A and B are shown apart, each in its own frame.
Chain A
């Protein structure tokens, strides 16, 4: 129930406020071109407000808003997809590994210090995200930034639960590959 004297805009903004940072972070990571994130975010929030009548109180507002941002960002990506999808290429042998669906195994617990990891992490993440498909990237980011459960991700993206798990596994695998590539100390080996 809304408090008397409180407009829809006030109620909407009160719900958005706690998740502003996460929505912005998610949007910046999800769009191919970082400079398009502000437009995507702005459009998504205004769309959310326009559709606020249809938001059911008691449902997860966080998941609802992440769904709207996802649609907006992916719509923008579709316009740009040919430009950026393969800017960062994997080596042929690594691509073969991914295509074969054979999970490469790390050679034990790689002793990577936090300082080393931090140094290579951001470039590896930026590069790694570019190797993911739209769905893989959305699933990974909805889990990491949105902190949504698998079931919520399934509802948000309109894909089966099994697809969520498959896309998440492939996304993490690619990210680990990229991180291993950027950090020579982390070697990959194939399972017997």
Chain B
């Protein structure tokens, strides 16, 4: 190494940051080069007291007592609330969520268990629903009684309609507003019998 290269290594040499081989090279150069040796010594004569003065410790101030008190009274240092001490909905939810966080976060098994519970819930929910008829499937055939009842309801409606048309023609031509049936317009049991199949 020449003098310029050695000079660039001054700080690392002073701070013992050089590897062993480079340190030996620098030391050998300083032994053989009076100029560099003098320069290193001059810088070191100033740098050493500067660094020592900067490093000089002073008495710890009272500030630290205040800082320590702040750390100790920090919310982070507050003890976790006991379940019995929590009152009201919000503290209970807070304690529950805190419990879940601490219980579930570090445990993969707990997460797997929670997932299994959800699978069971969803499958039970699906089973409880009435299955929809598949597309294209034939509708169930109604029984004879059901068909008779439906037919009877249709006839009843048609008779009711025909009766209301006849009564409107018999009147003065004014439309009859819809209203509750009177006793005379009510379907009599004998009429019902006629429509029964």
Contact residues of A with B, CB < 8 Å? Answer: 7-9, 12-13, 20-22, 24-25, 29, 38, 41-42, 45-46, 49-50, 103, 105-110, 112, 114, 117-118, 121-122, 125, 140-141, 143-145, 147, 149-150, 165, 168-169, 172, 175-176, 179-180, 186
Contacts and interface: CB of A to CB of B under 8 A. Distances in A.
Interface string B48-66: 0111011111101101101
10 contacts: A9-B71, A41-B63, A49-B76, A50-B76, A103-B7, A106-B43, A106-B46, A107-B42, A144-B50, A172-B50
Interface stretch (B10-18, B24-32, B165-173): B10-18
Contacts of B11: 165, 168-169, 172
Given A9-B72, A144-B54, A172-B11, A150 B17 contact: yes
Contacts of B74: 9, 46, 49-50
A149 B17 contact: yes
A61 B15 CA distance: 21
Interface of B: 7-8, 10-12, 15, 17, 38-39, 41-43, 45-47, 49-51, 53-58, 60-61, 63-64, 66-68, 70-72, 74, 76-77
Tell me what chain A mostly uses at the interface: helix, strand, loop, or mixed. helix
Nearest to B37: A109
Contacts of A176: 43, 46-47, 50
Contact of B46 (A46, A108, A169, A179): A179
A55 to B, nearest CB: 13
A103 B77 CA distance: 52
B58 to A, nearest CB: 6
A108 B70 contact: no
Given A24-B60, A46-B70, A7 B42 contact: no
Nearest to A124: B50
* 7 nearest A-B residue pairs (beta carbon): A106-B42, A144-B54, A9-B77, A144-B51, A21-B57, A109-B41, A176-B46
Nearest to B12: A165
Given A8-B76, A24-B61, A147-B55, 20 more contacts: A8-B77, A12-B71, A24-B58, A42-B63, A42-B67, A49-B74, A49-B77, A105-B39, A106-B46, A108-B38, A108-B41, A110-B45, A114-B49, A121-B49, A141-B54, A145-B54, A172-B43, A175-B47, A176-B43, A180-B46
